[in-house]
Amino acid sequence: MASTNNAASNQLPESFGAVIPGWFSEISPLWPGEAHSLKVEKILFQGKSDFQNVVVFESSTYGKVLVLDGVIQLTERDECAYQEMITHLPLSSIPRPQRVLVIGGGDGGVLREVSRYASVEKIDICEIDRMVVDVAKQFFPKVAVGFDDPRVTLHIGDGVAFLKAVPEGTYDAVIVDSSDPIGPARDLFEKPFFELIAKALRPGGVVCTQAESIWLHMNIIQGIVANCRQVFKGSVNYAWTTVPTYPSGVIGFMLCSTGGGPAVDFKNPVNPIDAESESKGALKFYNAELHRAAFCLPSFAREVIDCKVN
Ligand code: JFQ
């Protein structure tokens, strides 16, 4: 190894490869001191909606990438992991889901997964930013294909306002496919939002929300868990999986059920997806073993999350 006279210098050794022009680096106060980078082949779209900056680029190794306010939302290569897990963890945990609400999810990937269930009769989606829907349809047709299902109704608007207008007990399942809690999705991590979801669900209904990374956001997760334990009288469980292009390479999900109905055991799926969905193309990521494994937590996380029940 080449030595330097000035061992305490802040100058990086050449071999470190500092962030280079032509690479996208994901920098945010939500993951201070680190930045995952992807090599950019071509910028395909840049726009500013009423809510956020929207960018699509072609990367060298993950296909097309959708970025909102500087944060990766999905890449063609690994989107299957997130969309399949956030959808099938809740929907395979209850028998015959019929009415499903998606909050956020404007790229359509969660819709694509929900539409695998033949029992589902109605799928509402409330996305705040029309530009996300339009951009997904233009650049990510294999994701936005979810909008083609005739059971889907798209509502453009604020998720909190939408839920306020929903009659009590409307849905069997709610999936909250949100961006991070800075920017337009901030309210989707707060207790009043969870209370509205609980009201919109039938007794024994289920919710699955994007719940950040155990490596980076234990404080956020702790807040979500505490709120959910107060609001949801059935089960409250945290699950996680791997998504290489999300910060720290993992992402979590908060799964809860309302009381007063059939008990929900999220760790033991009762409604296997694998067989009935084959006509929609094979699942790439989710399977029954991964479902069960998703609820196994490292000790440091278990101590905080599972301190009481479940
Ligand atoms: C894609 N359908 C939704 N979900 C994206 N830091 C989030 C994107 C930002 C990440 C966390 C997940």
Q: Is 210 in the pocket of ligand 1 (CB under 6 A)?
A: yes
Q: Which of 120, 100, 223 is nearest to 173 (CA)?
A: 100
- When comparing pLDDT for 21 and 68, which is higher? 68
**pLDDT tops 60 at residue 208:** yes
- 3-state DSSP call for residue 155? strand
- Any idea which of 91-100, 175-184, 268-277 has the lowest mean pLDDT? 268-277
Test site for ligand 1: of 26, 208, 251, most ligand atoms within 8 A of the Cβ: 251
Catalytic residue among 177, 187, 265, 274: 177
**pLDDT tops 90 at residue 204:** yes
- Any idea which of 16-25, 31-40, 168-177, 194-203 has the lowest mean pLDDT? 16-25
**pLDDT tops 60 at residue 112:** yes
Task: Report which protein residue has its CA nearest ligand 1's atom 7.
Answer: 179
What is the mean pLDDT of the segment spanning 127-145?
98
- What pTM does this model have? 0.94
C-alpha gyration radius of the chain: 20
**pLDDT tops 50 at residue 310:** no
Q: Are 182 and 174 in contact (CB under 8 A)?
A: no
Q: Is the dihedral of CA 131, 190, 96, 157 positive or negative?
A: negative
**pLDDT tops 80 at residue 75:** yes
Q: Is 127 in the pocket of ligand 1 (CB under 6 A)?
A: no
What is the mean pLDDT of the segment spanning 244-248?
98
Q: Are 78 and 64 in contact (CB under 8 A)?
A: no
The rounded distance, in Å, linking the Cα atoms of 111 and 137 is 13
What is the mean pLDDT of the segment spanning 39-58?
97
Test site for ligand 1: of 210, 212, 250, most ligand atoms within 8 A of the Cβ: 210
Q: Is 177 a catalytic residue?
A: yes
**pLDDT tops 50 at residue 5:** yes
